[in-house]
Amino acid sequence: MKNSGRADYGARKAMLRPDISIALVGEAGQGIQSIETILVSLARAKGYHVYATKEYMSRVRGGINSTSVRISTSPVDALADRVDIAIPLLPAGLPYLKKRLTKNTALIVDGSLFPQKTRAMIDIPLAAIASEVGGAIYANTIAAGVVCAIIGVDESAAESFVADRFAQKGEAVVARNKLAIKRGFDAGREIDLSFRLARPSKKKSGNITLAGADAVALGALAGGCDYVCGYPMSPSTGVLERLAAYSQRHDIIAEQVEDEIGVINMALGAWYAGARALITTSGGGFALMCEGLSLAGMIESPLVAHLAQRPGPATGLPTRTEQGDLNLALYAGHGDFPRIILAPGTLEEGFTLTQRAFDLADRYQVPVLILTDQYFVDTYYDTKRFKPAAMGDRRSIVETDASYKRYSVTRNGVSPRGIPGFGKGIVCVDSDEHDESGYIVEDAEARVLMADKRMRKARAINKAAIKPTYIGGKDAENLVVTWGSTFTIAREALAALGRRDTALLHFPWLHPFPIGAAKTLRGAKRVIVAENNMTGQFADLITRETSLPISSRILKYDGRPFSVEELADAVARELDTHEAAQRRPPKRGA
Amino acid sequence: MKNSGRADYGARKAMLRPDISIALVGEAGQGIQSIETILVSLARAKGYHVYATKEYMSRVRGGINSTSVRISTSPVDALADRVDIAIPLLPAGLPYLKKRLTKNTALIVDGSLFPQKTRAMIDIPLAAIASEVGGAIYANTIAAGVVCAIIGVDESAAESFVADRFAQKGEAVVARNKLAIKRGFDAGREIDLSFRLARPSKKKSGNITLAGADAVALGALAGGCDYVCGYPMSPSTGVLERLAAYSQRHDIIAEQVEDEIGVINMALGAWYAGARALITTSGGGFALMCEGLSLAGMIESPLVAHLAQRPGPATGLPTRTEQGDLNLALYAGHGDFPRIILAPGTLEEGFTLTQRAFDLADRYQVPVLILTDQYFVDTYYDTKRFKPAAMGDRRSIVETDASYKRYSVTRNGVSPRGIPGFGKGIVCVDSDEHDESGYIVEDAEARVLMADKRMRKARAINKAAIKPTYIGGKDAENLVVTWGSTFTIAREALAALGRRDTALLHFPWLHPFPIGAAKTLRGAKRVIVAENNMTGQFADLITRETSLPISSRILKYDGRPFSVEELADAVARELDTHEAAQRRPPKRGA
Amino acid sequence: MKPRNADPRSEVHDIMAKNQFDFDQPIDIAWCPGCGDHAIRKALLAALDELKLSREKVVLVSGIGQAAKMPQYINASFFNGLHGRGLPPATAIKACNPELTVIAVGGDGDMLGEGGNHLIHCARRNPDITLFIHENMIYGLTKGQAAPTSRPGLITPVQVEGVFENPLNPVALAISLDVTFVARVLGNDVERTKEIMKRAISHKGFSIVDIFQPCVSFNKTNTFQWFKDNTFELPSGYDPSDRAKAFAMAIKEEPFPLGVIYETATRKPFEGNLRIYRNSKAPLYRRERTMSEIEGELSAFD
Amino acid sequence: MKPRNADPRSEVHDIMAKNQFDFDQPIDIAWCPGCGDHAIRKALLAALDELKLSREKVVLVSGIGQAAKMPQYINASFFNGLHGRGLPPATAIKACNPELTVIAVGGDGDMLGEGGNHLIHCARRNPDITLFIHENMIYGLTKGQAAPTSRPGLITPVQVEGVFENPLNPVALAISLDVTFVARVLGNDVERTKEIMKRAISHKGFSIVDIFQPCVSFNKTNTFQWFKDNTFELPSGYDPSDRAKAFAMAIKEEPFPLGVIYETATRKPFEGNLRIYRNSKAPLYRRERTMSEIEGELSAFD
Ligand SMILES: Cc1ncc(C[n+]2csc(CCOP(=O)(O)OP(=O)(O)O)c2C)c(N)n1
Ligand SMILES: Cc1ncc(C[n+]2csc(CCOP(=O)(O)OP(=O)(O)O)c2C)c(N)n1
Ligand code: SF4
Ligand code: SF4
Ligand SMILES: [Mg+2]
Ligand SMILES: [Mg+2]
């Protein structure tokens, strides 16, 4: 085995690292997913904390996809640029990694595929070993073995893991995979790196390891979701598929509908009949649902919608990430009506907010939108096992009597919600302006009565709003603001920056704008909003709600999430500019 | 003839009025439209300025509809509450008028239908006369004769007008209508009122008399519109119907599409092939077009959309008015892309802005939305004959050569637009992110390049923005802000208030927010936004764009437009409250 | 029952003696006098009553249009949604609670224009619901534009040169989609309409009744007389179970066949295919999720 | 021609000698190796070439999906719009410029699922355009959910219990709508596909070709072999002009008939009905509006 990297790495004494970052690049079909799974599972079993995220092209075969894995002695939940171990399974993968390689990165390749060496590489003849093992398809298992060896997984644990994983495929396949792992370990042990992963503190944390899509689906399950419908659309399909799988074990109807308009209207029918329905879609599909959302507003139907964002406009970058649909979520639908918008920043929030969404929707009879994005749904890490909230009054419905009126006018605007077939009353809902019984009206007074009733709910909702999370020293003068998936990245970035004067304000609840947040924002000397879109949609929302002008926006809209380093740098730059500006005498009239 | 009103009205000397307001109320099918037409046409022919607007129920027969007509010696273009002459054709119409009647209102009724008289009424036995004339259907012509006599139209002019109007229905019908007019005049002349309409200054002003829908349709014609498509929806259908009529005399394809999604996608196909397409819809239909709008943004297609607003959410009040779709217009579609939003306040703006919309759309390759509402499209008055702008380069398209690239990157973001079949090149447009040639790309750099190119157009558009119209003394400390159809009403209201310290700022161009408007707004001590919706959507937009908090909002959302008096009162109240507040010492921390 | 914000000018309708689906006081019906919709309402009231359905278990679902106002005038629960969007909620309502009788009503524009896609896919699902399409060959509520069913040559304010698109034949379309019960009636024939409505409602699976309905205000061509002159009853002995033959019958136009044109019992209804009803017939709203179900799924991620 | 941002891993395709519709340098085709779409592309390239169409006068229109990527791989103008929304722009393009040959391409989800309503109404309009539906009985691009054409029993990550909805039969549907040219082919049979494509493109009016296409990545049931085993050529002497008989043929499934199943010359195309082409054939973009036209209309309001 040639190890062209040995000279570089072997010379220094291996440094102990609490956190190692690994990047795998390959074409669709090459099995980088499989390497990732083996690695993460074994690291997790050994007691490490793990994190993985992927980015992929909008194609089924070919192209270039990548996965970033972090294995750490402490919890880890954000994308780092830094790569300690990089494995491009094909030369075309190298450019995709370029910006992330440092001189300390161990670049592991099959040298036969990389005739021109532009930098130090650790050459492991994956293809050659694979053909010895039994065929090209074993290359990924071999690569997994290599990395397992490097990070110190026990060989026997790895062998039994792959044995389990391939058990269904027959003994021969199991044997060959075990051999592949072994050969990978052999090769991996030969590598002499400048760093070594520290041992995990204890065996296993009792955490669960799951992706954003899992957290949302579990939250829906815990929220009592019993009807899910959708139309396939990346990156929202995962939630539909997971709940479809749950429908085999729980009371859930899972239906793929002909189009997104059908999706939302079907879900409203389901709520009307007493179900707790979830719809899941992405920006383009949600754009088709705007009229239906307005219907939810008018008939005061609860609704929970999962909107997994991707870069637009139009088809955009279908498999990438962006936080570009906030404006649409805020204002979708014609006419004025209350709604709630949530945006989980952590897996835990993904679970708790989704569960809560069902209760909020049901209690206030309004649509609740859960904004995630491709990065969020496709990212997984281990996290404290979720604690579902109690499921007290799971359905906020009443048994009707003969005098029942669906839209009885009440103080807080919420009318007791009956459903057809439960009680002696009839339940009439109408998309036209209507009276308390649900029949069409046209006169001015009746209109105002109902419009006011609907809007009064917004006030009640305001009180239920979740305050933004403040992380940092009290009265820090700089405030970095995030919403949704950018949170964990910003948290690690600020921790890395380590500035006492700079705190983080994360919004998991976006609308109605949480009362009190304005005060926190105004309290800061400088507000920097970091979000994954082109114009700073949340920054604009803050201005609209608080009349606070936001000039510092850190925006990214290339279809990729921020990395910790990138965001840390950008925040540092913003602060520097600001400080420099402050040192200059103020301009007249500024 | 009994004239129970005589005692009231005859006693005083008739006052000369420069402006008379008439309200007609009847059920659908009773012909109040016909009375209105006769009245307005004859008044206009005599040299008066005229104004009429209607409000109607969402039904074809029955119900209660009304028309308000103003006949004036000077131009008149806004809804007044005051009614000088009221004609309820049925008792159920009376409650609809109640708030508008004063002791000076001449209430003309067929006494046989109103057994209980609650106030002074002028009794004209319309039904009885009609049956003498030839049947119940002549009642409306008789009523028209009555009012014509009151306002001083020549009887012979009226007779020949109805003769013309019914010429196609045969001699017998003409004769009976002439008799009906005559009998109406006879009755009308007997009435002795407390007021009289002043004579018009000169014969006829050379003005044109038309409705908002006409102005938009004519603007489209002048804008070179040669493809119009839509799906019927009140109150937007009028524009579709008018352009369909034009298609019989001009090069226009007019197509009713299966649904609104088809409408917008078809229109984008038409623009792609070199046409100048208009779509026309209302809020619910526009809500269905959000994805298509995003497509326009991505493929950089020009598009002109007429959005005639009505009260939402959902089906709402289908035949009523509201300015409640501004938020949707601003943020419809997923992802960020530039757009232009216009909102005519006068008929002239209806014409010029629509014409301009086509040039703007074509020049900047963006969607242009024209926001009107039911009040705007259904209201008509006489106005200076429109002066179409020159039609220089009507189509901003280029002949392509073999190397043509649809999305060539340029300084201002606008790429020369080729169309298929015109030149040697090929024209490729894609809803996915694309390269300069229109082929799909996925890499980060290409994405940013194109997103930036698209957004650069917004800067260019900014320079073309139309400044808001300022009416009032320089540096007035109170500023009343309007957009769209509320303009003329506010203008007359402020004129009536006659306060030097209060000016009007009207926005015909809403987005991108006109540069410079912020300064005007900031210059005022107090900004009062008056709009026809529930939450103050434009007020919120101002805050978002200028970080100026807007606390004074005059909002109306009962499905009806403001009246001059109502708005004048509301502004006066706002100003009083403000002044009272200023006299008190400021609260700490306020 | 409820004081129906009655417009003082409301056309007062006879209250059907003892029909629980009618109101016990006059209601304001917004349809024009003479509109074919009145007869259809009579037929529907009678059908519901004669089927002895319990009022609390009937849900009418509609979109927007004149036909779609029907639920307003029947004393039962309703979901009066968006133009063109009646079928998706109707499907869900039945799926969530199969105890309910779900009837969708819509105009030809509502169901075949704006809502065409849902119709196609509702046919694929085959929920046990009934759809009445009021075919007046016009857009009534929006005042007289062409419907997908409008006959060639019809001039309207939008179709200024006359309609030239092929009219949609809902019966032929339904048979091509293997809708399990497909009929056509002339709504003014209240008795026959009622009978076929009863069969349609009783049929297990998706049933469509295409109801010819004169619009007296906007369609001056396809009048009651025209419908009478342009329809014929199916020949006696006609067998509605042969799909190819039914299609051959369905494409006959001017005159159009009336009656049950196609009926099949070969397909299972949507609800019957849902796993949740395999072991229990309880509607969804009566089921509870337990904490242990959630904990169990969480454990999969340990 | 243009350097097509070629992915270094692109499957390099043979450049067809002298076919102006192919690119003169290798392009990156995102379809999986072995996908039926490759064969369809070959057939389309050959058909376009053999019809001797001028490259500048051909426009491909599509929505989103694997099939809908076709325009990316043909060297001609294209409008690659939204998922399900290919037909409305295609109709407008032809209407605005009848000199163009307009070809729409889409998957079975694209055209029959999301876009179903446009298909129905496109059939009513009958524009002189051609539609190729790639029927792979699956959603390819979104990784394997059921399409409206999926066969009962197919298990997918969403249809966890297997598909139970009735598969849509696009040929029967098209005939029910009197689409003027309706054919089905097996795309892997490049020669026959090409021939039928040529007939479809040459046909005046709306033509639909339903193309069976194996998806090797996500549909492991309806493979090339399955399609071969489940299709048959129309009997010789088959007469495609009788609509009722064509329908009877169209509803045959497993095996499915292949060939031109229905063809009629009775309907005028959409563009032929447009008034603007009565006196002039010039496409819209070559026409000018004059100031006097506008002044004339303004005068109506004097
Ligand atoms: C999204 C949307 N588009 C358009 C409309 C306007 N609209 C209401 S009813 C209707 C059509 C009415 O025709 P039809 O469905 O045939 O019913 P009919 O009135 O003839 O019974 C239309 C276009 C609407 N309410 N919503
Ligand atoms: C509005 C909208 N909904 C959903 C999607 C996601 N989507 C893209 S292609 C596709 C279906 C692909 O299946 P099909 O049309 O059969 O084409 P194939 O890939 O099988 O050729 C879907 C659902 C989208 N792009 N837009
Ligand atoms: S407009 Fe036509 S369909 Fe509507 S109620 Fe009147 S007659 Fe009936
Ligand atoms: S996923 Fe299926 S349809 Fe798509 S390219 Fe691959 S084989 Fe073809
Ligand atoms: Mg109709
Ligand atoms: Mg497919």
d(CA B423, CA B405): 12
The reply to whether D25 touches chain B by the CB within 8 Å rule is: no
pLDDT digits (tens, 9 = 90+) for D112-146: 999 999 999 999 999 999 999 999 999 999 999 99
User: For residue C12, what pLDDT is reported?
Assistant: 42
Distances from the Cα of D106 to the Cα of D69, D90, D110, angstroms: 8, 12, 6
pLDDT above 70 (res B125) = yes
Tell me the percentage of chain A whose pLDDT exceeds 70: 95
User: For residue A11, what pLDDT is reported?
Assistant: 45
User: For residue B14, what pLDDT is reported?
Assistant: 80
Measure the CA dihedral B456/B457/B458/B459, to 10°: 70
For residue D114, the CA-to-ligand 2 centroid distance in Å is 8
pLDDT above 70 (res A156) = yes
Pull the structure tokens for residue D186. Answer: 């097996």
Pull the structure tokens for residue D201. Answer: 């493109």
Report residue C4's pLDDT band, with 50, 70 and 90 as the boundaries: low
User: Which superfamily is assigned to A211-383 in CATH?
Assistant: Thiamin diphosphate (ThDP)-binding fold, Pyr/PP domains (3.40.50.970)
Residues A192-202, mean pLDDT to the nearest whole number:
87
- Check C75 against A426: CB less than 8 A apart: yes
The reply to whether A228 touches chain C by the CB within 8 Å rule is: no
Which residues in chain C have Cβ-Cβ distances shorter than 8 Å to A449?
none
pLDDT digits (tens, 9 = 90+) for C203-220: 999 999 999 999 999 999
The reply to whether A64 touches chain D by the CB within 8 Å rule is: yes
* Ligand 3 binding pocket mutation candidate from C136, C143, C219 (most atoms within 8 A of CB): C136
The angle that helices B126-133 and B139-151 make with each other, rounded to 10 degrees, is 110
Matching CATH number, B6-197, of 3.90.1750.10, 3.90.1300.10, 3.40.920.10, 3.90.1150.170:
3.40.920.10
Strands A62-72 and A49-55: antiparallel
d(CA C62, CA C4): 19
pLDDT digits (tens, 9 = 90+) for D267-283: 999 999 999 999 999 99
User: For residue B4, what pLDDT is reported?
Assistant: 42
The reply to whether A248 touches chain C by the CB within 8 Å rule is: yes
For residue C36, the CA-to-ligand 3 centroid distance in Å is 8
pLDDT digits (tens, 9 = 90+) for B345-366: 999 999 999 999 999 999 999 9
Residues B520-546, mean pLDDT to the nearest whole number:
97
Q: Which residues contact C220 (CB under 8 A, 6 or more apart)?
A: none
pLDDT above 50 (res D1) = no
d(CA B82, CA A371): 50
User: For residue A250, what pLDDT is reported?
Assistant: 98
Is it true that domain D10-301 has CATH number 3.40.50.300? no
Q: Which amino acid is it at D249?
A: M
Report residue B115's pLDDT band, with 50, 70 and 90 as the boundaries: confident
Instruction: Specify the fold of B465-583.
Output: Rossmann fold (3.40.50)
Cα angle B548, B552, B555 (rounded to 5 degrees) comes to 120
Ligand 2 in contact with D147 (CB < 6 A)?
A: yes
pLDDT digits (tens, 9 = 90+) for D217-254: 999 999 999 999 999 999 999 999 999 999 999 999 99
Shortest Cα distance, chain D CAs vs residue B208, angstroms = 4
Domain residue spans in chain D?
10-301
Mean pLDDT of the residues in chain B: 93
Which residues in chain B have Cβ-Cβ distances shorter than 8 Å to D287?
226, 251
User: For residue B584, what pLDDT is reported?
Assistant: 65
Measured from the CA of C134, which atom of ligand 3 is nearest?
3
Q: Which residues line ligand 4 (CB under 6 A)?
A: A 60; D 31-32, 35, 37, 66, 136, 140, 215-218
Report residue A24's pLDDT band, with 50, 70 and 90 as the boundaries: very high
Ligand nearest to the CA of D212: 6
pLDDT above 70 (res A1) = no
pLDDT above 60 (res A586) = no
The residues of chain A that CATH labels 3.40.920.10 are: 6-197
Q: Which residues contact A535 (CB under 8 A, 6 or more apart)?
A: A555, B336, B455
For residue C38, the CA-to-ligand 3 centroid distance in Å is 10
User: For residue C5, what pLDDT is reported?
Assistant: 45
Report residue A587's pLDDT band, with 50, 70 and 90 as the boundaries: very low
- Check C160 against B61: CB less than 8 A apart: no
pLDDT above 70 (res C2) = no
Report residue B585's pLDDT band, with 50, 70 and 90 as the boundaries: low
User: For residue B579, what pLDDT is reported?
Assistant: 79
d(CA C105, CA B89): 35
Whole-complex ipTM: 0.96
Measured from the CA of C215, which atom of ligand 1 is nearest?
20
Distances from the Cα of D267 to the Cα of D125, D203, D280, angstroms: 10, 12, 21
Ligand nearest to the CA of C110: 1
Shortest Cα distance, chain B CAs vs residue D185, angstroms = 28
User: For residue D6, what pLDDT is reported?
Assistant: 44
The residue nearest atom 26 of ligand 1, judged by CA position, is C83
Supply φ then ψ for residue D288, to 5 degrees: -125, 140
Pull the structure tokens for residue C105. Answer: 């009503």
Mean pLDDT of the residues in chain C: 94
Residues A43-48, mean pLDDT to the nearest whole number:
93
pLDDT digits (tens, 9 = 90+) for A420-457: 999 999 999 999 999 999 999 999 999 999 999 999 99
pLDDT above 80 (res B524) = yes
Cα distance between the two ends of chain C: 58
User: For residue B588, what pLDDT is reported?
Assistant: 44
Tell me the percentage of chain B whose pLDDT exceeds 90: 85
For residue B232, the CA-to-ligand 3 centroid distance in Å is 16
pLDDT above 60 (res C151) = yes
pLDDT above 90 (res B15) = no
Q: If contacts are CB pairs under 8 Å, which of residues 344-403 in chain B contact chain D?
A: 385-386, 388, 390-391, 394-395, 397
Q: Yes or no: say if B538 and B531 are a contact pair by the CB < 8 Å rule.
A: yes
For residue B290, the CA-to-ligand 4 centroid distance in Å is 29
User: For residue D103, what pLDDT is reported?
Assistant: 98
pLDDT above 80 (res B164) = yes
DSSP reduced 3-state for B203: coil
d(CA A30, CA A45): 25
- Check A439 against C276: CB less than 8 A apart: no
Query: Does an H or E element contain B517, and which?
Result: helix B517-523
DSSP reduced 3-state for B341: strand
d(CA A26, CA A31): 8
pLDDT above 50 (res A301) = yes
The residues of chain A that CATH labels 3.40.50.970 are: 211-383
Report residue A194's pLDDT band, with 50, 70 and 90 as the boundaries: confident
The reply to whether C165 touches chain B by the CB within 8 Å rule is: no
User: For residue A230, what pLDDT is reported?
Assistant: 98
Which residues in chain A have Cβ-Cβ distances shorter than 8 Å to D140?
60
pLDDT above 70 (res A5) = no
For residues C11-50, one letter each, b for 16 or more C-beta atoms within 10 angstroms of the residue's C-beta and e for the rest, the string is bebeeeeebbbbbeeebbbbbbeebbbbbbbbbbbbbbbe
Pull the structure tokens for residue A141. Answer: 């298992």
Find the residue in C nearest to A390 (Cα): C291
Pull the structure tokens for residue B436. Answer: 């300069």
Enter the pTM of the model. 0.96
The residue nearest atom 1 of ligand 2, judged by CA position, is A285
Residues B185-213, mean pLDDT to the nearest whole number:
89
d(CA A475, CA B163): 83
Q: Which residues line ligand 1 (CB under 6 A)?
A: B 231-233, 260, 284-285, 288, 315; C 64-67, 83, 107-110, 134, 136, 138-142, 147
pLDDT above 80 (res B342) = yes
Q: Which amino acid is it at A561?
A: P
Ligand 2 in contact with A421 (CB < 6 A)?
A: no
pLDDT above 50 (res A137) = yes
Segment of A29-33, A203-207, B221-225, C6-10 carrying the highest mean pLDDT: B221-225
Residues B270-290, mean pLDDT to the nearest whole number:
98
User: For residue B246, what pLDDT is reported?
Assistant: 98
User: For residue B514, what pLDDT is reported?
Assistant: 97
User: For residue A299, what pLDDT is reported?
Assistant: 98
pLDDT digits (tens, 9 = 90+) for A367-392: 999 999 999 999 999 999 999 988 76
pLDDT above 50 (res C8) = no
pLDDT above 70 (res B590) = no
Query: Does an H or E element contain B82, and which?
Result: none
Pull the structure tokens for residue B47. Answer: 């040299």
The reply to whether D72 touches chain A by the CB within 8 Å rule is: no
pLDDT above 70 (res B270) = yes
User: For residue D9, what pLDDT is reported?
Assistant: 37
Which chain residues have CB less than 5 Å from ligand 5, an ion? C 107-109, 136, 147
Any idea how long chain A is? 590
The reply to whether A422 touches chain C by the CB within 8 Å rule is: yes
pLDDT above 70 (res B254) = yes
Measured from the CA of D31, which atom of ligand 4 is nearest?
5
Q: Is the dihedral of CA D57, D58, D62, D66 positive or negative?
A: negative
pLDDT digits (tens, 9 = 90+) for A230-244: 999 999 999 999 999
Pull the structure tokens for residue C60. Answer: 């009418």
pLDDT above 60 (res C34) = yes
- Check D9 against A64: CB less than 8 A apart: yes
The residue nearest atom 8 of ligand 3, judged by CA position, is C35
pLDDT above 60 (res A13) = yes
For residue B448, the CA-to-ligand 4 centroid distance in Å is 29
Q: If contacts are CB pairs under 8 Å, which of residues 73-92 in chain C contact chain B?
A: 82-84
User: For residue C7, what pLDDT is reported?
Assistant: 43
The angle that helices C87-96 and A260-272 make with each other, rounded to 10 degrees, is 40
User: For residue A108, what pLDDT is reported?
Assistant: 94
Ligand nearest to the CA of C37: 3
Residues B560-586, mean pLDDT to the nearest whole number:
87
